[in-house]
Structure 1
């Protein structure tokens, strides 16, 4: 009931600020849940309000860091410029070293979005040398593979992806802290990242196989992740000549109840490619 009252207040007055006694853990969990299920546009106003509350009160700890990180991710998902300042602040207030590593991954992805693959690789390389959970290490390798491929180093990309595949098979998917359960603990998360890496590397059969594993494994609340995965699998299937499979994935992704600029852009890109194959 307390969480419901909190969220009602956020919904009715997202820019009015939060009470001093706000439950940051409940807020962080709810922002994460809604972002993963409905996309950044569905939660951006509330997330921005929560981040402002955290910053103006100099709140510290993992819950505050998760709110800042989730806000940066939600804004990124709306198509806004990467919120590097939020990610930098999140890293300074986080206490869990695994959380700081996760924030570095998000910062690397923001650099990669901006086309600065070298900066992204520096972040990822640094993160791989620090305290990293096995599942996190797999995600870092998968992200590094995409950056390496975009920088023209296919050999490094393949090596990173092979490392990620090995970690997926051996890591304990239940060995994650509470803040990471909805993302890192989701059994579809790492397969989806690996599939995306193989897609970037042009290994379309491998990409399709891993993206299918992700699609079958995602938790019900991961609508955005699943929809993005379907778009990527549509691309892989199109490149492999499976036009019917591509069309089915595009239709399913287009029907997803997700408000995400990144998803919309991905759909438009693959639809254009599909049109050129008619």
Structure 2
């Protein structure tokens, strides 16, 4: 393949009718030469930059490491095409791509709320903690995105399940991104997926239930207001290890809840959310719920919370 597969317009190599092909120079200009203050996220396989293109449109461009793992340019474009077909309200929309020489980028929609990590753990002491009802709304949306990816028609593996890879729009709707390429769900040996389930960490065997374990860690972050890994807390800095004693009985589950949102939640709703986390963290993969069951349970928790809110307002 040549060093430039498309310039500016859609070219014959452009992978999908709905995707735009960007010139490298336009992305360079839009990110101010990839200036550090434009970096939104530093990921495992590249960085995300805030970029303004065509004046009114705002995107996030992901800089990918190059060369890829033994893939030709055409193979990469085929994978981009497959990724571009994904369409769900809880997935960040892929807008376009750039492939020129050693430069490869994916360009996504820009979401005003930033990442879930930044909402939960902003770099400032003067902030309002994320409200409980929004936390459950976000958890439900994340589960719906995972349900879509795990469906038999889509059959895609999520790349890294962690709060920095969940973007939030202006209405607090979560959108998964950094799904990665060539992640079809062939259960078996797998690459790094962020949060390791026990069976994956020990023998490198991956199934859909591994991602349920990863979802549980994000759910625990929402419930407790604690980071998944906090090196400043020593042994208590491992969130699943911290939460495990509290999840052993219904009576103790509320003790681990984020104290900053006390009074905002129904004890029944919070307890059910904690028990759902307990199921997801099971050492036995077959005991973890699937994505469909996650959505059903979280929607019921949302209804419980609405009833609590209505009764509190009377």
Common topology (TM > 0.5):
no
Higher normalized helix content (fraction of residues) = 1
TM-score (norm 1): 0.28
TM-score (norm 2): 0.26
Higher normalized strand content (fraction of residues) = 2
